[in-house]
Structure 1
Amino acid sequence: MATTSRTPAGVERRIPEAVHRRRWGILTVLIFSLLVVVLDSSILNVAMKTIASPAPTGIGATQSQLEWAINSYTLVFAGLLFTAGMLGDRLGRKKTLLFGMVVFGAGSLLCSMATSPAELIGYRAAMGFGGAFVMPATLAIIMNVFEREEQPKAIGIWSGAVGLAIAIGPIAGGLLLAHFWWGSVFLVNVPIVVLALIGMVWLVPDSRDPNPGRPDPLGVLLSVVGLVALVYGIIKGGQVADFTVTQAWLPILVGILVLAGFVLHQLRSRTPMLDMGWFRNRHFSAAVVSVGLTFFALMGVTFFGVFYLQSVRGYSPLQAGLLLLPLAAAQLLVSPRARFVVARFGVRATCATGMLLIAATFAGFLLLGQHTGIWVLEVLSFFQGTGMALVMPPATVTIMGTLPREKAGSGSAVNNTFRQVGGSLGVAVLGALLSTTYRSGIQDRLGALPAPYRGTAGESIEGTLGVVEKIGPRAAALVDPAKEAFIHAMHVTALTAGGVAAIGAVVAFSFLPGRPPAAAQEGAGTGAPENPAG
């Protein structure tokens, strides 16, 4: 039974006392589940070269098969995020979280034992299916076990964990590959999943929407098809560095049209799975856009930052991962404390400042060259992580704070869907710009190579350096021009990303609230956790 005692803020507590007492233990369990899902998305990048090696070192995957090993996860994960959040509201968030973790763990185990690229692609899709049920549930449960006045702190820790997982993935992957076989990057998930499942069964309460309305199978179908088509087109355009090819623009167009149909269907439905009225709230919409733009920047900078460190500066994958730690450290330190900045200056000023800091650090990438002191990148990474940490927690709190508790799963799904689509756009768009600019910069220098090698050498700096290594001293003169072309491409890409972040600052300053939302909302709903005893 929910207690009626007063919190320090003088607001009647709506969380059952048994749940309230163990809320920090619940958060710890949720962060472990979050870490394993987010970390896995970045850890695979380090293992790509090993997986491409012939057996027994790897499984002989081609470049296309490696790309699909990544993209099969992303497509299923992004396509199901919103549906999974809605099902959590309807069926119970603990149930969907447990289901997602079991599927994710099983997929990880199968990936570690894959004997062919086709198996790896299929099992990665299964991991994406499970991960889609985990991400919305973690944030929704946080909203249902913490009182309003503690939610900013809890969400700050949650946001810091997301940033940390993205940054430490390459480090964890490098350490595992230094001592074990390629499948260890997947097998390591299994014991973490088992421990998280035990903690969930023991600690995490269930919660759901008491009035979920009628099922909407057509809405589910439209949302899944629309998101999968949109993300597929974005990925394809990034792969070929050209969004005008049919394989890119056609799926994007189909995705946009199907999602437009989804919106019309939701507007006409008496019991919509997504209340489109949420987007009429400018605070909600601006916060969603801020989350998407922040992850656009985060995934973009980790994408070209790793190439700069490894291909231009010659660091190993493990060293490159360690050099990106300031990005994670800043998020880990600042995210839980962003609420203090919000309390003093308001959501608008905090998020706008964070976006401007991100834009400024992207401009700072112009300082990076072949021989620049690496400390410059470390400083830029730290302040970039600080900017992201000033945006993500307040934006997420704003998104979730505008909704009643019983809609926490759907709200979390909207937050995570925009985060995932923003990240995919960051990798695809910035990656395409990087690749196109690099090609134009190196093209005139490829005439000295034998004709069969020119296409491969012109694709990327990795392709150029790979050809140089294969041909030997005759092509050694290409190394410095390749590095110079990449640095120029990185500068152009960074300035573009900075421009996007500056647009985000304008959105934040124009539409986010000037002061924190009220600690509690009238009519916030009654989605209190079920089964208070655990």
Structure 2
Amino acid sequence: MPADDAATTSSTQRIPEAVYRRRWAILAVLLFSLLVVVLDNSILNVAMKTIAQPGPTGLGATQSQLEWAINAYTLVFAGLLFTAGLLGDRLGRKKVLLFGMLVFGTGSVLSAEAGSSAQLIAFRALMGLGAAFVMPSTLAIIMNVFEREEQPKAIGIWTGAVGFAIALGPIAGGLLLQHFWWGSVFFVNVPIVVVALFAMSFLVPDSKDPHPGRLDPLGVLLSVIGLVLLVYGIIKGGQLADFGTPRSWATMLGGIAVLTLFVLYERRSSHPAFDVSYFRDRRFSASVVTIGLVFFALMGVTFFFVFYTQSVRGFSPLQSGLLLLPLASAQMIFAPRARLVVDRFGARAVCTGGMLLTAMSFLGFLLLGRSTPVWVLEVVFFVMGTAMAHVMPPATVMIMSSLPREKAGSGSAVNNTFRQVGGAVGVAVLGSLLSTVYRHSIHGQLAAVPGLSEHVQHKAGESIEATLGVAQQLGPVGQTLVGPADNAFIHAMHATAMGSSAVALVGAAVAWLFLPHRPALSPPSAEPERSAARSGG
């Protein structure tokens, strides 16, 4: 059956009345699981400086170990997202969701009690395993408890919650670190996981593909190997600030080669793990690319934002987190209502306009300096949140509505895979740009400091934090580096913001050229059918 026909047939299937009546309660419970997974990924950024301190305050983690505490989660999460979505379709989304939450909660407890950096990295990888089983399941279950005409609203709330959690992470992390030990940023997940598991057991219905077909172990294995190699190469290039090293480009090329082999194999397989013909649908392919690009730009910006507010402006972790409230509030206000704008102007116009506004908001960072009023940053974040709230919901709706309902887990996995890979590429590429421009800008000032060896100069030029650390060790002489370090970072931040803006403009072009003009959904009304059924009509 063609992809479009399959999607249409699946979308008209009736949802059981008992499930339909509690659909909003189910969504609320799913948002708990979504919140804890997304929040934890951003909350760690605030705790990095504390974890780097010697014990008992922290773990004495090196810069490389801190990076891998983040990257171990990302690598496992991105590598297994697609597989987790397939397992949800085959085994049951509720079962997979509960398993993922249990693993994530266990990893959170172990991370909170980690006694070394190596243990923290391993337990963060375990959390990434759990998160990979949670994220696709939430969106897949939404598609199976909401009728078609309500799916855009539910997905809008889902995407708004993602944006809210990204902004809430630094705020929650700042509050916790003011009163508790560094492990509290992980332990805070535990009560949320417990409540979510209990509520899910009673409220969330199970669903799966009624005709999953034969297993495709080779296809699944190729997808895991390809994604892991690709993401590892991206991460390594970002760490080294050099994508020309064989450890980066050779690994990335290997990942791309394996993923290409995966696509070719799936096209010829009589029982594919995922029907790659769905990418022939312009709504599907253009939407996943748009989401990948918007997260590329967003994660690159949030990467340098923490250093600007804390290292240059001197804000505390909590104050830094609170500055993200306008972004979070804009997401929560506009994402659930984006469907109304799409109904009026069409998906292409809304997504294109949202990407253009996103590009403008990134350029707003060019207004920021060492003493710029804080309200300027707040306006920039509110505009950014508003823009992204008009990109992610309609794009996600188009992805999910392009697939039959029984394949919702696979569609959600593709959506989240592009989101995660796009974010990883953004941090790596834009982080490398930030590092390269900063090193070039501060090099002359470091060379002018008497008695500073080339080795120390090289280490001090890695980041503003490294420069300020050396300046503190040098005493009064080192204070001459503080002003130039701030200026060099601001210059590097401006260059990175322009890079983010350029990526957003590419996303706008993709949306305008390939997304449909009219709304992605033109659903038949299911509510009158339900009303008629209740009245015996």
The aligned counterpart of 1:192 is 192
The Cα shift of 1:84 comes to 0.2
Q: TM-score of the superposition, structure 2-length normalised?
A: 0.94
Match of 1:528 in 2: none
Q: Which among 496, 499, 503 is matched to residue 500 of structure 1?
A: 503
Distance 2:443 2:60 in 1: 30
RMSD: 1.4
For 2:73 and 2:256, how far apart are their aligned partners in 1? Answer: 21
CA distance in 2, matches of 1:519, 1:206: 27
> Identity, % of aligned pairs?
70
Deviates more, 1:200-209 or 1:457-466: 457-466
Please tell me whether residue 336 in structure 1 is matched to residue 339 in structure 2: no
Matches within 5 A, 1:47-446: 47-446=47-446
Q: CA deviation at 1:22?
A: 0.4
My pick for the range that moved more, 48-57 or 418-427, is 48-57
Structure 1 unaligned spans of 5+: 1-10, 522-534
Task: Report the Cα distance in structure 1 between the residues aligned to 2:478 and 2:66, rounded to whole angstroms.
Answer: 27
CA distance in structure 2 between the partners assigned to 1:494 and 1:54 by the alignment: 34
Distance in 2 (CA, whole Å) between partners of 1:253 and 1:73 is 22
Superposed displacement of residue 12, structure 1: 6.9
CA 1:446–1:303 in 2, change beyond 3 Å: closer, same or farther?
Answer: same
Query: Match of 2:23, as an amino acid?
Result: R
Q: Is residue 22 from structure 1 mapped to residue 22 from structure 2 by the alignment?
A: yes
Matched to 1:56, the amino acid is P
SS of the residue 1:472 aligns to: helix
Deviation at 1:60, TM superposition (A): 2.2
> How far apart, in 1, do the equivalents of 2:172 and 2:479 lie?
33
Q: Identify if the C-alpha distance between structure 1 residues 324 and 286 changes in structure 2 by more than 3 Å, giving closer, same or farther.
A: same
Is residue 523 of structure 2 the alignment partner of residue 514 of structure 1? no
> Are positions 1:482 and 2:485 aligned together?
yes
SS at match of 2:391: helix
| Deviation digits for residues 451-474 of structure 1 (CA, Å, limit 9, x no counterpart) | 152122111111111111111110
Instruction: Give secondary structure in 1 for the equivalent of 2:244.
Output: coil
Q: Which amino acid aligns with 1:23?
A: R
Question: Residues of 1 paired with 2:49 and 2:414: CA distance?
Answer: 34
Amino acid corresponding to residue 233 of structure 2 in structure 1: G
Q: Mean alpha-carbon deviation: is it higher for 60-69 or for 409-418?
A: 60-69
CA distance in 1, matches of 2:520, 2:478: 61
Q: Which residue of 2 aligns with 1:5?
A: none
**1:197 CA displacement:** 0.4
Alignment-derived partner of residue 530 in structure 1: none
CA deviations on 1:474-512 (whole Å, 9 max, x unpaired) are 021111111111111111111111111011111101111
Alpha-carbon separation, structure 2, partners of 1:93 and 1:246? 40
User: Secondary structure, in 3 states, of the residue corresponding to 1:369?
Assistant: coil
Which residue identity lines up with residue 459 of structure 2 in the other structure?
T
SS at 1:225 equivalent: helix
Q: Secondary structure at the match of 2:521?
A: coil
1-side partners of 2:521 and 2:152: how far apart?
12
C-alpha deviation, 1:329, in angstroms:
1.2
Q: Is the counterpart of residue 472 in structure 1 residue 475 in structure 2?
A: yes
Structure 1 distance, partners of 2:317, 2:303, is 13
Q: SS of the counterpart of 2:267?
A: helix
SS class of match (1:513): coil
1:130 Cα deviation from its structure 2 partner = 0.5
Q: Distance in 2 between matches of 1:367 and 1:112?
A: 39
Letter in 1 for 2:447: G
Letter in 2 for 1:161: A
Distance 1:57 1:311 in 2: 20
Greater Cα offset, 135-144 or 267-276: 267-276
Q: Choose 87-96 or 374-383, whichever is displaced more.
A: 374-383
Q: CA deviation at 1:236?
A: 0.9
Give the letter aligned to residue 479 of structure 2. Answer: A
Report which stretch shifted further, 63-72 or 272-281.
Answer: 63-72
Q: AA paired with 2:470?
A: V
**Cα distance in 2, alignment partners of residues 380 and 51 from structure 1:** 30
Alpha-carbon distance between aligned partners in 2 of 1:120 and 1:481, rounded to the nearest angstrom: 35
Letter in 2 for 1:456: K
Q: Which runs of 5+ in 2 are unaligned?
A: 1-10, 525-537
Aligned-pair CA distance for 1:13 = 7.0
Cα distance in 2 for residues equivalent to 1:487 and 1:64: 24
Rounded Cα–Cα distance in structure 2 between residues aligned with 1:333 and 1:119: 40
- Per-residue deviation, residues 59-109 of structure 1 (Å, max 9, x unmatched): 222222221111111110000000000000000000000000000001111
1:311 CA drift (Å): 1.4
Q: Distance in 2 between matches of 1:253 and 1:324?
A: 36
- Deviations 1:35-64 (CA, angstroms, capped at 9, x unpaired): 000111111111112222222222222222
- Distance of aligned partners of 1:17 and 1:305 in 2 relative to their CA distance in 1, 3 Å threshold: same
Q: How far off its partner does 1:34 sit?
A: 0.3
Deviates more, 1:147-156 or 1:442-451: 442-451
